Structure 1
Amino acid sequence: MRSNKQSHLKYLIRLWTLRIIQGALIGSSAILPGVSGGVLCVVFGIYQPMIALLSHPVQSLIRYYRLFIPIAIGWVIGFLGLARVVEVLFDASSALAASLFVGLIAGMFPSLFREVEKKGTGAVSWSYFVVSLVIFYAFLSSLKAGQTIKIAPTTAWYFLCGAIWGLSLVIPGLSSSSILVFLGLYQPMAAGIADMRLDVILPLFVGIVLSAVGLARFVNFLLKRYHVFIHHVILGIVVASTLLIIPSGFSSTVQMMLSVAFFLVGYTVSLWMEKLSAVAGKQADGMSLDYDTKRAKLRRADH
């Protein structure tokens, strides 16, 4: 009995460790230009549970609350703590920071492609992927190449920042921070969050909630009705957005070599998280298992 309890405890520790790390990475990605929190939700396997939660909060919370508790804890840690560390890394060398995140996402590509193949294969299905890859790469490239403009920040503009942020959660590949940099709102918003200014934080979070919840039900409908099409399109968006954050201009050979090293670190960590996820129960469905049911199984095993 004691060994079974210890085994179950180790299972929970591994699972919570994985989810807190994933939540921290998602939280830190929220303020990093060029990195989409929605993309990380996809590669970490929590995108559909998140959309379901936003679409049907009560029903989904009952099913996925064990998934979202550690994710939420990690998000707060990443947003308030790890994000600052990574932001310093971006300030020191955007190439190294981008290489780290590219490695994290690339490490999930094999499993991501396998999951998409389960939804549908064939020329038609993969044509959805190719078309979405080309369209979103062109669209995001045009945003990236645009000239930065300046807007005087107000409560209304901070609400818009939150609305754009919410869209980036629901639409993988849409980097909210990149758009906010383009609008000239990124720095005052980040400074307001760092200073814990309520006149910045409150309209920001209201915008996030209204935007994410308002769009999530529609996206959830598309996932159920056109799952083959949507999954291949999402994969195209993920690949397109990842290609755009690959650093290209290196200041020296040393920086290029360090970027490769950071990529490998991110890739290794990503593979480790996937392995940990497999050992601990895999993806979000493992979190929906009822704890009392598991205890009953353990009692039967003892007898």
Structure 2
Amino acid sequence: MAVRRDQNFIIRWLRDLLCGFLIGAGAILPGVSGGVLAVVFDIYRPFMEVLTRPRTAIPKYWRWFLPIALGWCVGFLGFAKGIAAAISLSNTVTTWLFIGLIVGTVPSLFREAGKEGRTAASWGSLLLCAGAVFAGLFYVSRIAEVTVEPNFWWYNFCGVLWGMSIVIPGMTSSSVMMALGLYQPMLEGLARLDLLVLSASLPGMVLAIALLARLVSWFFRRHYAVAFHGILGFVLASTLVIIPTEYGPGEPLLSALCCVGGFLLAFLLARLDKKIQT
């Protein structure tokens, strides 16, 4: 009996380590929300409970903290280096891989949004958020062509966006960074463990999580369908904005293959938790 308990503990620990790794990677991958993966792996609600009611939640969930936190750090920093290298080889092909990852998460996100029903208000939230986000990002990236000079405060802004993507399921902060021209320099800084990038982005991320946790928990508790459909609109709009328009030799075929591969990977990740549990 004791051996069985030890085996279950090891399996659970490894499962939590893997989930933390994937959620950390989701914070880095454009279009893949760490918050969505937390929802998929049934970690989001305990995580928000710890942030909003720590006295009662920490004794209940403390065993999750170490493997999830360790996996998150490895996924977050490890993927930064890999993606920076991929973008340097072909930004267009890499972006299509990200688009495939986004589209692959949409079915699970749509199911989660309708878990408590769909109303006219929820559909209105989807259309309003999609329209507002698309108009804003399209203007910034394609019409005004705004690019900012990376510095301490912009890296802090990136950290805030990452924190928001963890607390708000479905928010893909990396798409906003790509539109502003911040994504690649941020990744390169994380890959080489640049002190300026780390000292600016990590405090911004922690601050965003701490400030938004109670507000998001309250809003989801009171208006779940409206909130989640708004997030779905954000995901769809931010995806349309990052679609590449310029291609080099051979890139269209590679882009299509990477898009399909990204879709299959994200779709399978959405089903992974039940396999692990079994």
With the shorter chain as reference, the TM-score category is 0.7 to 0.9
1:85-136 per-position Cα deviation (integer Å, ceiling 9, x unaligned): 1111112112221222222232222222122222222444322212221122
After superposition, the C-alpha distances for 1:181-235 in whole angstroms (9 at most, x for unaligned) are: 73x7666655554454545423432222222211222122111122221111111
Corresponding residue number in structure 2 for 1:153: 151
Q: Cα 1:160–1:16, aligned 2, differ >3 Å: closer, same or farther?
A: closer
* Preserved contact between residue 122 and residue 226 of structure 2 (Cα < 8 Å): yes
Structure 2 residue identity aligned to 1:79: F
1:86 to 83, 87, 93: 83
Distance 1:196 1:150 in 2: 21
Distance 1:204-1:3 versus aligned 2 partners, 3 A rule = closer
The 2-side partners of 1:242 and 1:181 are apart by: 11
Paired with 1:179 and 1:258, the residues of 2 have a C-alpha distance of: 24
Counterpart of 1:23, as a letter, is: I
Match of 1:175?
A: 173
Name the residue aligned to 2:135.
138
Distance 1:197 1:70, change over 3 A: same
Q: Helix, strand or coil: the match of 1:118?
A: coil
Q: Partner amino acid for 2:81?
A: R
Q: Partner residue of 2:113?
A: 116
TM-score, scaled to structure 1: 0.73
Compare CA radii of gyration and give the structure with the larger one: 1
- Which residue of structure 2 lines up, in the alignment, with residue 299 of structure 1? none
Q: CA RMSD in A?
A: 3.5
Could you list the per-position Cα deviations for residues 240-290 of structure 1 after superposition, in whole angstroms to 9, with x for gaps in the alignment? 2223233343224x31111111122222222322232122339xxxxxxxx
**By how many angstroms is 1:180 displaced?**
8.1
Kindly provide the CA deviation profile for residues 135-180 of structure 1, in whole angstroms up to 9, marking residues without a partner as x: 22212222323334555835x5554453444344445435257448
Please, what TM-score do these two structures have when normalized by structure 2? 0.78
Which deviates more, 40-49 or 162-171?
40-49
- Residue 48 of structure 1 and its aligned partner are, at CA, apart by 4.6
- 1:233 alignment counterpart: 230
| Residues 139 and 51 of structure 1, relative CA distance in 2, 3 Å threshold | farther
Corresponding residue number in structure 2 for 1:209: 206
Q: Distance in 2 between matches of 1:186 and 1:124?
A: 34
User: What is the alpha-carbon distance in structure 2 between the residues aligned to residue 65 and residue 247 of structure 1?
Assistant: 44
Alpha-carbon spacing, 1:215–1:257, altered in 2? closer, same or farther (3 Å): same
User: 1:293 aligns to what?
Assistant: none
Query: 1:232 is aligned with what amino acid?
Result: H
Equivalent residues of 2:21, 2:74 under 8 A apart: no
Please list every run of 5 or more consecutive structure 2 residues that lacks an aligned counterpart in the other structure.
none
Letter in 2 for 1:217: R
Q: Identity, % of aligned pairs?
A: 35
The answer on whether the counterparts of 2:80 and 2:187 sit within 8 Å (CA) in structure 1 is no
Q: Is the CA contact 1:119–1:228 (under 8 Å) kept in the aligned structure 2? A: yes
Q: Which string of whole-angstrom CA distances, capped at 9 and with x for unpartnered residues, describes residues 65-93 of structure 1?
A: 45554442233223322211111111211
Structure 1: distance between partners of 2:183 and 2:264: 31
- What corresponds to 1:76 in structure 2? 73
Partner residue, 1:295: none
Unpaired runs of 5+ residues, structure 1, are 283-303
1:242 aligns with 2:255: no
